[in-house]
């Protein structure tokens, strides 16, 4: 029962933080320390993120269906290759390659060295500052229709930085989008679409670890956390897309810097331990 309660709370945290530019993986490493719980592990984190990505699939199913259909038509019909849907299909594929390649190559480092709270807290602060600068100084004259192959690759490498907990997948890709001059709505929307193959792929890749590997909770609690993250995630997507159409990312920047600073102070005073590996 204790494992189920902890998994429920972690699923709630995942659902609340996955789409906000504040790093869900960083939160899943930090908050168990605050509560005195065992680290859930990289496998738990990766699989629970499938729940929030299924929320993306449900919320953006029309966009996904249109892009997939346009890309498939382009494979067999030359005139279909002039459409935005054909280009977007390729942009999502190309943009997903960096995180796939680096995720496989750095799997052991991701599950050990990157899950150190000194690293996570530092990334929260550094990438929070980056997000604030890019959001404040970036132009807003590009929309999703202006996306091109070069920018898709740059978005992809930005997303790959999220292999380090504390960076934030959405935060890194949104920062890149704002630096390239995309408006907040376009940068956020593409960040969501780009995350789908990466997160679902990572979760499926880590599934064999769930029964007894790098996971503190086991199958049942992991399923519960995934369901909770899915339900909460749908509401957060809707709220965030409405929010960014009218407001800046400043509150998230302040929160990131504040949380990162708090963790560094707790680490420096010995209140919490830096290592977060599953025991």
Distance between the two ends of the chain, CA-based, in angstroms?
A: 19
Check residues 87 and 198 and name the one with the higher pLDDT.
87
Nearest-CA neighbor of 125 among 162, 166, 175, 179? 166
Task: Tell me what pLDDT residue 125 has.
Answer: 97
Give CB contacts under 8 A, 24+ apart, made by 262-268. 263/30, 263/117, 263/120, 263/121, 263/124, 264/118, 264/121, 264/122, 264/125, 267/117, 267/118, 267/121
Give 206's pLDDT tier (boundaries 50, 70, 90): low
| Pairwise CA distance, residues 6 & 47, whole Å | 16
* Lowest mean pLDDT across 80-89, 114-123, 202-211: 202-211
Are the beta carbons of 181 and 141 closer than 8 angstroms?
yes
> To which H or E segment does residue 74 belong?
helix 61-76
* Lowest mean pLDDT across 107-121, 131-145, 199-213: 199-213
Task: Give the pLDDT confidence of 152-187 residue by residue, as tens digits.
Answer: 999 999 999 988 989 998 999 999 999 999 998 889
Nearest-CA neighbor of 149 among 184, 103, 97, 192? 97
- Residue with structure tokens 């290759």? 81
| Pairwise CA distance, residues 277 & 112, whole Å | 6
Give 278's pLDDT tier (boundaries 50, 70, 90): very low
Are the beta carbons of 276 and 115 closer than 8 angstroms?
yes
Q: What is the mean pLDDT of the chain?
A: 88
Check residues 110 and 259 and name the one with the higher pLDDT.
259
Does the structure show a pLDDT above 50 at 279? no
DSSP state of 216: S
Task: Tell me what pLDDT residue 236 has.
Answer: 92
Task: Tell me what pLDDT residue 53 has.
Answer: 85
| Tokens found for residue 94 | 């190309």
| Pairwise CA distance, residues 119 & 167, whole Å | 10
Give 276's pLDDT tier (boundaries 50, 70, 90): low
Give 131's pLDDT tier (boundaries 50, 70, 90): very high
């Amino acid at each position: 029962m204790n494992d189920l309660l902890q998994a429920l709370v972690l699923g709630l945290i995942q659902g609340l933080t996955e789409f906000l530019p504040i790093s869900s993986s960083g939160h899943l490493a930090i908050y168990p320390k605050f509560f005195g719980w065992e680290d859930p592990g990289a496998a738990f984190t990766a699989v629970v993120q499938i729940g929030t990505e299924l929320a993306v699939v449900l919320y953006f199913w029309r966009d996904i269906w249109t892009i997939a259909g346009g890309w498939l038509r382009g494979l067999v019909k030359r005139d279909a290759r002039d459409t935005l849907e054909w280009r977007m299909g390729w942009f999502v594929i190309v943009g997903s390659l960096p995180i796939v390649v680096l995720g496989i190559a750095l799997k052991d480092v991701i599950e050990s060295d990157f899950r150190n709270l000194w690293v996570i807290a530092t990334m929260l602060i550094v990438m929070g500052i980056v997000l604030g600068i890019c959001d404040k100084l970036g132009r807003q004259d590009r929309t999703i229709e202006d996306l091109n192959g070069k920018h898709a690759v740059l978005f992809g490498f930005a997303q790959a930085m999220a292999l380090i907990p504390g960076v934030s997948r959405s935060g890194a890709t949104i920062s890149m989008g704002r630096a390239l001059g995309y408006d907040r709505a376009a940068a956020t929307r593409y960040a969501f679409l780009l995350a789908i193959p990466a997160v679902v792929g990572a979760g499926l890749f880590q599934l064999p670890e769930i029964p007894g590997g790098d996971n503190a909770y086991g199958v049942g609690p992991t399923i519960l956390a995934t369901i909770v993250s899915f339900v909460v995630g749908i509401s957060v997507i809707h709220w965030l897309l409405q929010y960014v159409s009218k407001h800046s990312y400043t509150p998230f920047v302040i929160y990131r810097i504040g949380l990162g600073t708090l963790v560094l102070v707790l680490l420096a005073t010995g209140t919490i331990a830096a290592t977060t590996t599953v025991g």
